[in-house]
Chain A
Amino acid sequence: MAEYLLIESRDPFESNEVGYYYNLAHGLVEAGIKVTLLLIQNAVFAARPSAQIPQLRLLVGSGVKILADDFSLQERGITKLLDGVQIAPIEIVVDHLEAGHRTLWH
């Protein structure tokens, strides 16, 4: 069965559509598909432990693996992450592509 890497580049403060993408990740997991969500660029604003994004908090522990791009975090001075979100290098995208995982960018 296909595995997915969902790359989210937008932050939920700017765009309502980020909620849809979090829901898509959840829906895929509920359908039995393995999903990694990679937050990059402004999407990492949602990953601070103090950020008010309940939808991301709900996604943690739902079966979606949530990563945050190290460069985007450094660029924005974000040093602490919501529990359950891990830092990842950009090479993770190539890892997933090499493995044949469907990789979608939002």
Chain B
Amino acid sequence: MAKKTLNIVESAYRAVIEEQDDTILWLLAAMRGAGAEHTVVLRGNAVNYAVAGQGAPGLTIGGWTQTQAPRMDNDVIDLIKKHKIPVFVIEEDLAARGIERGELIPGVELLSSKMLPRHMAEYELVSHW
């Protein structure tokens, strides 16, 4: 049985346009395909990944056009539904950013930052991204 790993993801919108993915969420999904057991906690600015309806159109630079612009909300939905990776979002970080619960994609679970230390204890490995 793979080690149960909690991944606290704080980094947000770093190179997502060029990579057409958040590289951490992508990595975790790829590792899941190899048999890893991951759970994600989105905190800090990364809580914004759970906001539904986001996504800029693809870049156009001169004659070059991006055809696969990323949609972080869809990627989080895929993590939950397709890759069976539970995703928690830190409530206080949503509130600090003025994000209402009704704006979130379905399937994310809310977690208070006060509960994070105890939540970490449930996992064999904890990584901070």
Direct contact of A and B (CB under 8 A): yes
Enumerate chain A interface residues (CB-CB to B < 8 A). 1-2, 17, 20, 23-24, 27-28, 30-31, 33, 102, 104-106
Which A-B residue pairs are the 7 nearest by beta carbons? A27-B117, A104-B128, A31-B117, A28-B117, A102-B126, A17-B44, A31-B118
Chain B contact-residue range equals 10 to 19
Q: Given A2-B121, A104-B126, A104-B127, check contact A27 B44 (CB 8 Å).
A: no
Give the complex CA separation of A102 and B118 in angstroms.
14
Chain A nearest Cβ from B116, distance in angstroms? 7
Give the complex CA separation of A106 and B114 in angstroms.
18
In this assembly, does B38 line the interface, its C-beta being within 8 Å of a C-beta of chain A?
no
Residues of chain A within 8 A (CB-CB) of B117 are: 24, 27-28, 30-31, 33
Chain A nearest Cβ from B94, distance in angstroms? 14
Give the complex CA separation of A1 and B122 in angstroms.
11
Residues of chain B within 8 A (CB-CB) of A33 are: 117, 121
Give the complex CA separation of A23 and B127 in angstroms.
17
Smallest CB-CB separation from B118: which chain A residue? A31
Q: Is the CB of A20 within 8 A of B128?
A: no
Give the complex CA separation of A31 and B43 in angstroms.
20
Q: Kindly name the residue among B10, B43, B116, B120 whose own CB sees the greatest number of chain A CB atoms within 10 A.
A: B120
